[in-house]
Chain A
Amino acid sequence: GENVEQHPSTLSVQEGDSAVIKCTYSDSASNYFPWYKQELGKGPQLIIDIRSNVGEKKDQRIAVTLNKTAKHFSLHITETQPEDSAVYFCAANYGGSQGNLIFGKGTKLSVKP
């Protein structure tokens, strides 16, 4: 069945360094790839997303890249800050363009001051 693999499960970086989280998906029909940030005890917040018609998207310190051929996409956070510490989930749609989302297992990012 459809699957989204996410790595690493935990990531620790020093403040100011960059962080990269990678995901792979199995459904070749997937065309929407969002990233969510979840802080402890809260619901996930959409931070950036990308569609299959582009290869990269940036929003200030956050960027996402997509390689459709290899079926993988990555989240890049530059100049990390302690407030970036959270669990990050990637997701991909399945079952067509109106389909639901399947989530990766999450990456716990810790940014040390």
Chain B
Amino acid sequence: GAVVSQHPSWVICKSGTSVKIECRSLDFQATTMFWYRQFPKQSLMLMATSNEGSKATYEQGVEKDKFLINHASLTLSTLTVTSAHPEDSSFYICSARDPTELLAKNIQYFGAGTRLSVL
């Protein structure tokens, strides 16, 4: 299957600072990437859909000014958590779809996740 790389895997930051998380599709071009948030022992909650060359589509209740998403190329999407606070501490996971898989358009390949701890 396709490979999605996410970096960093773990980040600790001070309250009020911004953190950028990168998501790369390594062996395919992803026109669509997704950003999820996962709290301990809970399911994945979709935050936003990132579309290459256009604005991200945010789910209800997700602050777009707080969670900035940029998808400037077909292989890279970034999530920036701005002015992070302790309540933003969570596990953030990206995924990507391979548009060339004509018979498998819905398949999402996930990155390894980023654990964010805000002090």
Contacts and interface: CB of A to CB of B under 8 A. Distances in A.
Interface string A86-97: 000100010001
A24 to B, nearest CB: 15
Interface residues of B, number: 22
Contact of A89 (B6, B43, B95): B43
Contacts, number: 51
Contact of B115 (A34, A41, A101): A41
Contacts of B112: 42-43
Interface stretch (B14-22, B61-69, B81-89, B102-110): B102-110
A100 B44 contact: no
Given A41-B113, A44-B93, A100-B49, 5 more contacts: A41-B115, A43-B110, A44-B110, A46-B109, A100-B46
Interface string A21-42: 0000000000010101000011
Interface of B: 1, 4, 6, 34, 41-44, 46, 49, 93, 95, 105-113, 115
A42 B34 CA distance: 16
Interface residues of A, number: 23
A23 B46 CA distance: 19
Given A41-B113, A41-B115, A49 B107 contact: yes
B106 A97 contact: yes
B113 A100 contact: no
A97 B110 contact: no
Nearest to A99: B106
Contacts of A76: none
A100 B60 CA distance: 14
Contacts of A103: 43-44
